[in-house]
A and B are shown apart, each in its own frame.
Chain A
Amino acid sequence: MIVVTELTKRYGRRTAVDRLSFEVRPGVVTGFLGPNGAGKSTTLRVLLGLHRPTSGSATIGGRRYDRIRRPLRDVGAVLDADAVHPGRTAADHLACLARSNGLGARRVRDVLARVGLTEVAGRRVGGFSLGMRQRLGLAAALLGDPAVLLLDEPVNGLDAAGVRWLRSTLRALAAEGRTVLLSSHLMAEVALTVDHVLVIGRGRLLDSAPVAALRNRGATDVVVRSPRAADLATVLTGLGASVTPGVAGELSVAGLDPAVVGDAAARAAIPVHGLTRRGASLEDVYLELTGTEAEYRNEEGAA
């Protein structure tokens, strides 16, 4: 359980995190979303004791991170996959971390195998691709078999197969009852991975909701296609729907269920060639939430 309470972090006059409060529950994958500069990384850094909060608190399992002895056994984290000494081999990098927490060489072999880096364990990290470094970062996070995982932008630099691998790995880790929090600035990256999302913008919490609830939140309509679109539009308007004609005999119908639309067409003996419910994408909902909060927007986005 991660608890952030009224957390504020200022760098000089710039406020990166502004009275932020949220909780992350175990057993689910929680996405920490927000545009660039929203304060995601800052929040994670404060949570992990790398930065001091200006005020407020952030605890993991009820304790401040820097009060946990041998924390790798409780919390695993990857903040920056590039933050590895390039002159050290992958195995040595992990061995140093393991040694500091009293973990044996066996754990190093186990996590290297779990992330698929066994074959390159003896190579210096300087020659690793970003994708390999992400895997190495996750290996370090898993060293102590922790109950809590915090990952900052873990999808960055992964190829399609890597993204799929990460997704199934994180879902498996959450299914084992662990608390998993991963940040991203792109909803599309994590929509299939996370169960719950926290959305922040300019250091403030904008929303906290299950992905399923977020999906239903956007405006939905029914798209029906008919060779007699104009006749069908009259019928549906008569039922109280608001109908917008589209191209090629398509109608966008708001305010009616697909079943009601189909039944009405049948009663009027109007042929129907297509009938679907159309939902707003998660991306749309996310953009709507963060649209006014993004630190920098292009003119098109602002229009």
Chain B
Amino acid sequence: MTAVFRDAVAAEWMRLRTLRSTYAFLAGAAVVTLLGLLLLALLIRTFDAAPPAERANFETVDPTVVVVPFVMFLVGAVAAASVTGEFATGSIGPALLAVPQRPLLFGAKATVAAGCGLVGGLLSASSTVAGATLLLGGRPAPPHPWPVWTDAVATVAGATLTVTVAAVVALGLGALLRSTAATLVTLGGLVLVAPVVASFLPPVWRLRCGSVLLPNLTAQFTGADGPYLLPPAGAVGVLAGYAVVALVAGAVAFVRRDVG
């Protein structure tokens, strides 16, 4: 890593943490995590109140399934804003005057976006899993999603990875669309709406489409017998595909088009 690139990354990191919006989105991610745990607490109360015969019918309750898509959206919004916010305010101009090598500047932004996704995803997933483990205590599986603690590690790793890729995808979308509103609508469609739409498809298509959707990949890393099709390696491949397509498309748009 050259000194010029290192300085560009440091500057992008500074840009991110000197804006209030960054903290607003991250606070949103924290709230979503807490809401996920609240939801779990309510389910546990129902479970505890149920007679033993009904308890056998309870399914596994993994709160990351609910929490992670929203965290993907909120952390992705931070990453997207590092491009769209600059185009909206024109501050991309001074940024490019300081670092006119566009591939290098885009690389710095992608590095910071990925870092933000990694840290945001890890914090949110690990606190969700830790909170859930505490709340579930000695209850059996199901509803306990991680009877062995190593299962929980796989879930945290998978969630962290998907949030990281979501941040990178958001950055690429931002560079392509340049508009905050358009980017957030597309990102929201991708991580929040598409899984719902897919669930209305006929069964075969529901499986095929649902399996490659970004938020549904998390469950497929762990190799747990979930409702989807991909083996862990396939899920990683699809995830890498998302990152590569978004980065290449974003980089080409960022490098080629006139600014200001």
Contact = CB atoms under 8 A, between A and B. Distances in A.
Contact of A88 (B18, B93, B97): B18
B7 A85 contact: no
Contacts of A77: 97
A66 B21 CA distance: 30
Interface in B1-53: 3-4, 7-8, 10-12, 14-15, 18-21
Given A49-B96, A89-B18, A97 B102 contact: no
Contacts, number: 96
Interface residues of B, number: 32
B245 to A, nearest CB: 25
A102 B89 contact: no
Instruction: Classify the secondary structure of B's interface with A.
Output: helix
A71 B100 contact: yes
Contacts of A85: 19, 85-86, 89, 91
Contacts of B3: 102
B260 interface: yes
A87 to B, nearest CB: 5
A140 B96 CA distance: 13
Interface in A57-88: 65-66, 68-72, 75, 77, 79-80, 82-88
User: Among A69, A85, A102, which residue has the most Cβ atoms of chain B within 10 A?
Assistant: A85
A229 interface: no
B204 interface: no
Contacts of A71: 97-98, 100
A69 B15 contact: no
Given A84-B90, A96-B11, A51 B100 contact: no
A50 B86 CA distance: 14
A45 interface: yes
A228 interface: no
A50 B259 contact: yes
A65 B12 CA distance: 21
A86 B92 CA distance: 13
Contacts of B89: 83-86
A198 B258 CA distance: 25
A278 interface: no
A99 B196 CA distance: 44
Interface of A: 45, 48-52, 65-66, 68-72, 75, 77, 79-80, 82-89, 92-93, 95-97, 99-102, 140
